[in-house]
Structure 1
Amino acid sequence: MMLYQPFNLHLAHQQGSWYNEPRYLVDHKQLLEALKYCRKCACYTNVESTYRDGGYIKMTAVCDSCRHVIRNLYSHNMTAVQQALDAEHIDFSRDGRFDTPGHSALYSTYTLMDVKSSLIVASQLVKVTETTSSQAMEKEGLIRCRREVEDAGVCIGSLTTDQHIMIAPYMRKEWTELTHYFDLWHIAKNLKKKLCEFASVAANRVVGHWSETIIRHLYHVVVNTEPGSQLRIE
């Protein structure tokens, strides 16, 4: 909310008597009163000042009532999805998303999806202050999602992940009974990136013309390999 706005004297003279226009200063208490009620449900909100720079102030209003409703709706939907999975062993894939790219993310959303039905079975929000670093948020998200599905009685048959530096060691040491696959899309993406870097050198440009064929062959080999073989797992 902007409390002060630069004034253009020349523009004011063109538009009329600028000194007759009413001007207001707003108290902090008045701002709190304006944001006192939720616009959705008219319940009381918790208001706090989150940022201030000169005459500019940013305020955040949180409605506990709406947040409670959303949490209950999410829990209800997740329970319905988990109960619908009646198979003995469910094949899951997972991935994490961050609020910012790089290694300075503050939040990470981690989800588990049933490969067969494409239903989101579990989702967890992790804040970096709950872990040792932004890289550790994915591992923490996986641990929480695992706890969520196991508490719901869902039996996990296999899990497909990317080659995250903390996920693979965790799967080898802490979840040894589970069949672990690496996501082929991520492997192909990393391979293509390395091929492009290699082909950027003048002497290796011919490799760039073969990069798409190499990626297609990679998919062909994996798809036509028998399930459970060392090639598909590694």
Structure 2
Amino acid sequence: MPNHDHSNVFICSSHFEESDFINFGEYSKGFTTRLRLKPGAVPSRQSTASVQPSTSGTSFSHAFSQTDPPNLSSRRTQLSMGTLRHHVKSRGTQTTGCSESVNIGTTTADAPWGPLTSTPIKVAHPRPAKRIRLEEEEEYDTSHSTIIPEPHDSTYDPANSMTDVTDVTDMTDSSQLFDTTRSGYKDSKFIVFEKCLLELFETCPICKRVSDVRPRRRGTFLAVDQICHHCNFFRQWKSQPVIGSCPTGNLQLSAAIYFTGTSFFQLQKVFKAMHLKSIGHSTFRRHARSYLEPAVIHKWHAFQESEFEHLRQRPVKIGGDMRADSPGHSAKYGSYSLMNLENNNIIDIQLVQSNEVGGSHNMEKEGLKRSLELLESKGVAIEYIVTDRHPQIQKFLRERSTQHFYDVWHFEKGLSKKLDKISKDKDCAVVKKWQRGIRNHVYWCATSSSTGTEKVAKWTSVVNHIQNKHTYDNPAFPKCLHPVRQTTDHKK
């Protein structure tokens, strides 16, 4: 097999149609700096570029093509002088011309980076003002394997933020990525040493001679090309399934980190200590932004709609409370959660920022207001709501004529503070011995009563109970339910 040197073969991107490029939309919008040709694309049109005469009498030729130089024109700008200065190339980059090598040929392979047995042709385009930083997995120092940068999926649009994506089914390959059958999610994974793996490809299975082995890595993904120059045998082995342009192992690793709440950088330290190849942080964030977060939002909206469908059948009993990012009145964000008290399912979550409502003390009321407006828009009727004793919440629900109850935990917490203060008095030291029993009595009154009158009767009975009186004149609770016990300890 002759080994031709194609390092000096160049071609201008103007000779190709827009449909010949995979990422022409992203390139035209400025989201990427390099064009990628589709496999099998061939030049189909003549360049429309013409030579512009030089004002100084000297002609200039295009540095990255063997065609006519591109048109150059002057445009007015409103930029600062600092922006118009020459950009200084980073010390960490060792690039030359901004040209990209792509593969064009008739033979194709199922690898995401294009055909393997084809003629490489470099596509020229104008050099950007600032080079995009390489991903972390591209910067790893590997001595035996070639690192392949992970391109964006064909359906990935950086213009869409995470909050704009509400349905993961809008992406073509997303359903395939989360298909457990195709992605091999349930397959067992093993740690394999590179030396032991490459031993399987050293000998040609046809002629039993030494083969040319070319490993390529992208994150946790490894592809091995075995080429025999004697019998022209070729095969490619992949360590994991590839759907579109995304190795499923890389995505599953990102999902495992994201959904378990593990720190990426802590896990990266473990991988580096073992010399275990992993994905970079930029890849992890791209997976979270493009697949994981839209999947979570889609799942949450589907669950929320099913809950609303069930809650519309009859009035519901709900409870709400807010959790802030810091204690006191210095919180910046507050997350208000609304829960169905019959099955303990969260039915709505509202995130409120303090500067939206004029201060952190107004966040809880705003979160409850948004949640109740959502329930009304979905046709859900409320029987009653249970919250803490927040003054703004009390006034807000009273103006809405909504039946409001206090959370027993907050009620018991406030009562315990008062009992602690009373027990420090010299004449009321005995209250400290009754403090635990009084707290338990509060919860028992709330859980064992069916009406409000019964709750009040049980709660006021604690005063008589402390005085060793166990029968009362109140018909709602005439006597204690515990058995009568005698003790020889007069202190008790």
For 2:135, the aligned partner's letter is: A
Q: Answer 1 or 2: which has greater helix percent.
A: 1
1:217 aligns with 2:318: no
Q: Deviations over 1:42-66 (max 9, x none)?
A: 65488xxxxxxxxxxxx9x686544
The Cα offsets for residues 126-177 of structure 1, whole Å up to 9 and x where unpaired, read as 111111111110000000100111111111111011101210111111x11x
Aligned residues: 189
Asked if the contact 1:106/1:127 (under 8 Å) is kept, the reply is yes
User: Residue in 2 aligned with 1:110?
Assistant: 336
Query: Residue 403 of structure 2 corresponds to which residue in structure 1?
Result: 179
Instruction: Give 2:351's aligned amino acid.
Output: L
Structure 1: distance between partners of 2:91 and 2:428: 67
Which of residues 420, 442, 460 in structure 2 aligns to 1:196? 420
TM-score, length-scaled by structure 2: 0.34
Residue 88 (structure 1) aligned to one of 314, 319, 327:
314
How far apart are the structure 2 equivalents of 1:25 and 1:214? 71
Q: Give the letter aligned to residue 88 of structure 1.
A: R
Which amino acid counterpart does residue 164 of structure 1 have in structure 2? Answer: H
Aligned equivalent of 2:82: none
Q: Deviations over 1:12-42 (max 9, x none)?
A: xxxxxxxxxxxx9769x7785538xxx9x86
Q: Residues 74-111 of structure 1, C-alpha deviation per residue, up to 9 Å, x if partnerless? A: 22221111112254110111111111111111111111
Partner amino acid, structure 2, of 1:167: I
What is the rounded CA distance, in whole Å, between the counterparts of 2:452 and 2:131 in structure 1? 66
CA spacing shift, 1:32–1:218, aligned 2, 3 Å: same
Which residue in 2 is equivalent to 1:152? 378
Q: Could you say which residue in structure 1 is the equivalent of 2:255?
A: none
> In structure 1, what is the Cα distance between the partners aligned to 2:373 and 2:92?
49
* Aligned residue number for residue 432 of structure 2: 208
Larger Rg belongs to: 2
Change (3 A) 1:81 1:203: same
Partner of 2:309, secondary structure, is: helix
Choose which of 390, 397, 411 in structure 2 pairs with 1:164.
390
Contact in 2 for aligned 1:92/1:114 (Cα 8 Å) = yes
- 1:172-228 Cα offsets, whole Å, 9 max, x none, are 11x11x211111111011111221233245554322111112223333444555535
Q: Which amino acid aligns with 2:413?
A: K
Structure 1: how far apart are the matches of 2:448 and 2:398? 25
Secondary structure at the aligned position of 1:218 is classed as helix
* 1-structure distance, mates of 2:357, 2:454: 33
Q: Which position in structure 2 is the counterpart of 1:121?
A: 347
**Separation (CA, whole Å) in 1 of partners of 2:342 and 2:370:** 22
Counterparts of 2:131 and 2:414 in 1: how far apart (Å)? 54
Amino acid at match of 2:407: D
Q: 1:209 to 1:104 in 2, by over 3 A?
A: same
Determine helix, strand or coil for the equivalent of 2:337. Answer: strand
Amino acid at match of 1:105: A
Shift of 1:230: 11
SS of the residue aligned with 2:317?
Answer: strand
Q: Which runs of 5+ in 2 are unaligned?
A: 1-89, 94-129, 137-149, 162-281, 457-492
Decide whether aligned partners of structure 1 residues 208 and 72 sit closer, same or farther in structure 2, where only a CA change above 3 A counts.
Answer: same
Match of 1:73 among 284, 292, 299: 299
Instruction: Give 2:323's aligned residue.
Output: 97
Between 1:195-204 and 1:95-104, the stretch displaced more is 195-204
| 1:187 maps to amino acid | F
Q: Which residue of 1 aligns with 2:135?
A: 34
Larger strand share, 1 or 2? 1
Is the 1:121–1:149 contact (alpha carbons within 8 Å) kept by the matching residues of 2?
no
Would the aligned equivalents of 2:445 and 2:455 in 1 still touch at CA under 8 Å? no
Structure 1 length normalisation: TM-score?
A: 0.68
- Aligned partners of 1:110 and 1:124 also within 8 Å: yes
Q: Answer yes or no: is the 8 Å Cα contact 1:98–1:107 preserved in 2.
A: yes
Query: Which runs of 5 or more structure 1 residues have no equivalent in the other structure?
Result: 1-23, 47-58
Q: Pairwise CA RMSD of aligned residues?
A: 3.2
Percent identical residues: 28
The 1:115/1:26 distance shift into structure 2, 3 A limit, reads farther
Q: Alignment partner of 2:385: what SS?
A: strand
- Is the contact made by 1:95 and 1:161 (CA closer than 8 Å) also made in structure 2? yes
